[in-house]
């Protein structure tokens, strides 16, 4: 047995070790390449795509449940939870809370959104970012028109359980204030975050936009002018619209059809300088 083993050809261990090192190096190079591509991927684009898909599904589900009348019970329960149990005509809290809610709900009104949008567009024009200004205008106006179209399509009556805390003129589903606030503030936040290199500032801007959008929707239910599902649908539709506008903005900037932000210009110059130095 020993003699037969001695006659076996010697295993080329050095060659095997070299092959293993080459394979390990190739795998490491592929892994690093994949990691670099993932690092270069815009997290905003990935989140926007997920938001569009998830938001569209949620809106369709809510609309279907509303049309079937399956949300009537929970809508009534949530609406009345913001009212004095002894007097449903009286919203919870002192008078200054009710007045404050009227102030908050104005942040989703046409006049305030027009003022904010005009201010931002004017700033972009002064900065000679004409195409970005046009895209912001189309995004906000398009969101408002889409809200009106959805309202006409569904034609849901306004709540009649409690007196309305302000005058209303349109149908209920989806909430126009909630949708317009989401479409406007989230679109502007997506634009502003591209001007900020620091993640903390980007996060602050996006959280602030979400907070304002959320408060506008809550104020609509508090004032008794919308069912909670109207607001949920408005939030969802507005967020989907803002995400779509953000994707279009990123795509056009990638193609060079929209002016780069200062952060992107600095990144481009840094990459060019690095390429020139290495060359």
Active site residues: 177, 226
Distance CA 198, CA 195 (A): 9
CB-based contact 153:89 (threshold 8 Å): no
Phi, psi (degrees; rounded to nearest 5) at 11? -75, 125
How much of the chain is helix, strand and coil, in % rounded to 5?
Answer: 75, 5, 20
Distance CA 90, CA 22 (A): 77
The structure tokens listed for 174 are: 């989806």
SS3 73: helix
CB-based contact 190:44 (threshold 8 Å): yes
Distance CA 232, CA 88 (A): 23
- CB-count burial class (<10 Å; 0-12, 13-18, 19+) for 127: middle
SS3 84: strand
Distances (CA, A) of 150 to 22, 41, 156, 263, 279: 60, 34, 10, 37, 57
Q: Kindly give the pairing relationship between strand 87-91 and strand 83-84.
A: antiparallel
Distance CA 235, CA 54 (A): 13
Residue 83 has a CB neighbour count (10 Å cut-off) of 18
């Amino acid at each position: 047995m020993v003699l037969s083993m001695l006659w076996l050809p010697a295993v080329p261990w050095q060659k095997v070790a070299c092959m293993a090192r080459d394979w390990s190096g190739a795998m490491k190079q592929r892994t690093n390449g994949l990691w670099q591509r993932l690092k270069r991927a815009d997290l905003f684009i990935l989140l926007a795509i997920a938001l569009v898909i998830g938001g569209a599904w949620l809106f369709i589900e809510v609309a279907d449940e509303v049309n079937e009348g399956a949300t009537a019970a929970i809508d009534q329960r949530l609406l009345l939870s913001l009212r004095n149990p002894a007097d449903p005509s009286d919203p919870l809290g002192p008078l200054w809370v009710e007045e404050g809610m009227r102030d908050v709900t104005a942040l989703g009104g046409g006049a305030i959104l027009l003022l904010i949008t005009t201010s931002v567009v004017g700033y972009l024009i002064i900065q000679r970012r004409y195409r970005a200004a046009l895209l912001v205008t189309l995004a906000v106006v398009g969101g408002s028109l889409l809200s009106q179209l959805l309202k006409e399509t569904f034609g849901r009556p306004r709540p009649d359980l409690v007196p309305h805390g302000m005058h209303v003129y349109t149908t209920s589903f989806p909430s126009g204030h909630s949708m317009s606030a989401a479409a406007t503030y989230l679109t502007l936040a997506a634009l502003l975050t591209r001007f900020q290199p620091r993640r903390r500032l980007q996060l602050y801007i996006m959280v602030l936009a979400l907070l304002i959008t959320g408060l506008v929707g809550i104020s609509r239910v508090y004032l008794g002018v919308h069912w909670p599902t109207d607001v949920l649908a408005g939030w969802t539709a507005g967020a989907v619209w803002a995400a779509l506008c953000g994707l279009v903005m990123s795509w056009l900037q990638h193609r060079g059809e929209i002016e780069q932000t200062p952060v992107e210009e600095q990144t481009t110059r840094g990459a060019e300088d690095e390429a020139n130095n290495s060359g």
